[in-house]
Amino acid sequence: MLWAWLSLLTAVAAASQDAWIKRHFSSHGPFFMAAFPLVYGFPLFTLSLLLVPVPELDRVFWGCYLASLPINGIAFLIYMNAIRISPLSLTVPYLAFTPAFMIFTGNLVLGELPNIWGTIGIGVTCIGGYVLNIDPRDRRLFTPLRAFLAEPGSRQMFFVAFLFSFAAVVGKKGILHSSPMFFTLSFFSGFSLLLSLSLIWLGGVQIRTLALSPAKGAAAGLLFFAHGVLHAYAIALAKAAYMIAIKRLSVLFGVIYGGLFFRETHMKIRLSGAVLMLAGTVLILLFGE
DSSP letters along the chain, please?
A: -HHHHHHHHHHHHHHHHHHHHHHHHGGG-HHHHHHHHHHHHHHHHHHHHTTS------HHHHHHHHHHHHHHHHHHHHHHHHHHHS-GGGTGGGGGGHHHHHHHHHHHHH-----HHHHHHHHHHHHHHHHHT-BTTB--TTHHHHHHHH-HHHHHHHHHHHHHHHHHHHHHHHHHTS-HHHHHHHHHHHHHHHHHHHHHHHS---HHHHTT-HHHHHHHHHHHHHHHHHHHHHHHHS-HHHHHHHHTTHHHHHHHHHHHHS--S-HHHHHHHHHHHHHHHHHHHHH--
DSSP β-bridge partners for residue 135: 138
> What is the distance, to the nearest Å, from the Cα of residue 237 to the centroid of all Cα atoms in its chain?
19
**CB-based contact 174:186 (threshold 8 Å):** no
> What's the structural domain count of the chain?
1
- Amino acid in the structure at residue 277: M
Digit-by-digit pLDDT tens for the chain (289 residues) are 788 889 889 989 998 998 898 888 877 777 888 888 999 999 999 999 999 999 989 999 999 999 999 999 899 889 888 888 887 667 777 777 888 888 889 888 888 777 788 778 878 877 777 776 666 666 565 666 676 777 888 889 889 989 999 998 999 999 999 999 999 999 999 999 988 888 888 767 888 878 888 899 999 999 999 999 998 889 888 878 778 877 877 777 777 777 777 776 666 777 777 788 778 878 877 776 6
Neighbouring CB atoms inside 10 A of 24's CB total 17
Instruction: Give the domain extent around 137.
Output: 2-287
For residue 218, what pLDDT is reported?
A: 94
For residue 264, what pLDDT is reported?
A: 67
pTM assigned to the model:
0.80
For residue 170, what pLDDT is reported?
A: 94
**CB-based contact 100:245 (threshold 8 Å):** no
For residue 1, what pLDDT is reported?
A: 73
- Picking from 15, 55, 38, 51, the residue whose alpha carbon sits closest to that of residue 179 is 55
For residue 147, what pLDDT is reported?
A: 66
**CB-based contact 110:240 (threshold 8 Å):** yes
What CA–CA distance (Å, rounded) separates 37 from 221? Answer: 4
Tell me the C-alpha to C-alpha distance, in Å, between residue 153 and each of 23, 97, 132. Answer: 16, 15, 14
**CB-based contact 161:101 (threshold 8 Å):** yes
Question: Rg of the Cα trace of the chain?
Answer: 18
**CB-based contact 71:163 (threshold 8 Å):** yes
